[in-house]
Structure 1
Amino acid sequence: MTKLRLRQLVIAAPGPEVADDLRKVFQLGKPFHDKAVAEFGLKNSVFSIGDQFIEVVWPVKDDAPLHRFLERNGGAGGYMVIFETDDIDAARTRLDGAGIRRVWNIDLDDIAASHIHPADVGAAIISIDETRPWGSWRWGGPKWKDEAVEGELSGAILESPDPNGLASRWAAALGIPATTHPDVTRIALDDDQTLIFQKGEKTMLEGFCVSLQSAMKALERADDLGLKSQGDTVWVGGVRFVLNND
């Protein structure tokens, strides 16, 4: 069986302020700034949580394609989901056979990746990445283990007026069947991670599910920063973070 797990979630923002808020709310370590994203007219901050990552990207060039997302979305929001696989060749064969477009590909000694056209799946860009060795992560920078805080990304929440249709497109791209329940549709990944598809007015990557130590303190810090919070949830960069105590 091919392995597939959630490795990184990405927020698109107009500027670096969202990254600053994210670091303060969750008491994250020093971010990695990947110069390679300049290819897309961007700058970024990548934060490590356990062996997973939250990235914030923002445009620094007038012709950066990210501007179109920010205009459509009305500001910052969930932008990309990156999965780790142990067989990129099988993933590419599946995508090509299903007519799902790959819009960017890279093959390096330590990682190979393909980005999927968001119009072919909906809600967000999907990237499928094979690491060599398994568990490494070039996109986190050379010191990500030193900067990691304890915790994990346990899933993502996607919304659509047609959540079952959205889930079926993601299932085809990932090669994992979706299961439908009365109120929600899910795709189960390795490591007990879950993609949740629910009904909403817009098709979007709406929420991140995060397990952290002292989640309640994160909510208190969000209040101090003037960010919206309610119950076990805080909103940062247009994304709803559903928190669990780790």
Structure 2
Amino acid sequence: MTSENYVRLRQICLAAANIGEAEGALTDILGLEVCHRSQLDQFGLENIMYAINGSFLEVVAPTRDNTAVDRFLARNQGRGGYMAIFDSANVARHKALAEASGVAPIFERYDDRADLLQLNPKATGATMLEFDHHKGGDDMMAKYHWAGEGWQEYVNTDVTGEITGIEIAGPETAARAKLWAQICDRPVSQENGVAQITLDYGRLRFVHNPGEKQDLFTAIDLTAKDPTAMRARAKKAGCTETERGFICYGVEFRPVRAD
């Protein structure tokens, strides 16, 4: 049953310089086909999306110079995830919570399909946060307008199972966890000394790393039918291996075996 005030980690957005190269690599690594692609001239970007069970992985690439994505890639030198997108029951509620915490919107849109709120990443830190509500989309396998019609046909859990969470790492993660918890209206808990926020779907982890100059969105937790095979495909695609997974488009993918 869906909570009346649900907040779900629904979509992760990564940034790439070349959308074609990103599609070639991720299609092979994830064992999935792109469920939706579009050109967003307003923001000077193009994107592709993968349906990972009821959540989504998006990759954006700039189509002209001096756009937000272009500046992000230059500023971070390819490190860190670009956006964390939350599906919520009431966007206005999260806007009020954000503003009460001193975080202002940088873009918002409300229409008969969906409500959308993007928060100033300079205030949220680590990555841009977006809160959406999709009309007719309370069920995670129902409407999700950013992915187009028929996205459910692209769901295939034979290789990639689901996204279970993300990790933020840096020197100010205690403050970051407190702020994000206030905006999400969920408590901060501790697990083995690591702050975390558990949502109705997905978990946010905040790892203190004083060696970083700033907090960054550093990792994606996901399940896979065969994590070893996924890591091998990532290595073949040119991704850097890590102890727990591989680096791909600025973040560490950490696949574990699906139950």
Task: Specify the TM-score bucket, using the shorter chain as the normaliser.
Answer: over 0.9
**CA 1:93/1:244 → structure 2, altered by over 3 Å: closer, same or farther?**
same
2:92 paired residue number: 89
- Give 2:41's match in structure 1, choosing from 38, 44, 51: 38
Are residue 127 (structure 1) and residue 130 (structure 2) matched? yes
2:30 paired residue number: 26
CA deviation digits over 1:166-204, x for unaligned, max 9? Answer: 11121122121212355311011113x210000221311
Decide whether the 8 Å contact of 1:13 with 1:77 is kept in 2.
no
1:71 positional shift: 1.3
CA deviation digits over 1:109-161, x for unaligned, max 9? Answer: 12111001001110000001112111321111212111122221100000111
- Give 1:5's match in structure 2, choosing from 8, 28, 49: 8
2:168 paired residue number: 158
**CA 1:141/1:110 → structure 2, altered by over 3 Å: closer, same or farther?**
same
- Give 1:139's match in structure 2, choosing from 122, 130, 146: 146
Are residue 221 (structure 1) and residue 228 (structure 2) matched? no
SS in 1 for 2:36: coil
SS in 2 for 1:211: strand
Residue correspondences, number: 244
After the TM superposition, list the runs of 4 or more consecutive aligned residues in structure 1 that deviate by more than 6 angstroms: none
Are residue 51 (structure 1) and residue 54 (structure 2) matched? yes
2:78 paired residue number: 75
Decide whether the 8 Å contact of 1:29 with 1:147 is kept in 2.
yes
1:102 paired residue number: 105
Distance in 2, matches of 1:101 and 1:224, equals 42
Share of identical aligned residues, percent?
25
1:96 positional shift: 2.5
SS in 2 for 1:39: coil
SS in 1 for 2:81: strand
**CA 1:186/1:50 → structure 2, altered by over 3 Å: closer, same or farther?**
same
Q: Counterpart amino acid of 2:149?
A: P
Are residue 194 (structure 1) and residue 203 (structure 2) matched? yes
- TM-score using structure 1 length: 0.93
Decide whether the 8 Å contact of 1:49 with 1:149 is kept in 2.
yes
Decide whether the 8 Å contact of 2:101 with 2:179 is kept in 1.
no
SS in 1 for 2:164: strand
Distance in 1, matches of 2:76 and 2:35, equals 25
Residues 220-229 or 114-123, more deviating: 220-229
1:19 positional shift: 3.1
Q: Counterpart amino acid of 1:55?
A: E
Decide whether the 8 Å contact of 1:81 with 1:125 is kept in 2.
yes
SS in 1 for 2:232: helix
1:165 positional shift: 1.0
Alpha-carbon RMSD: 1.6
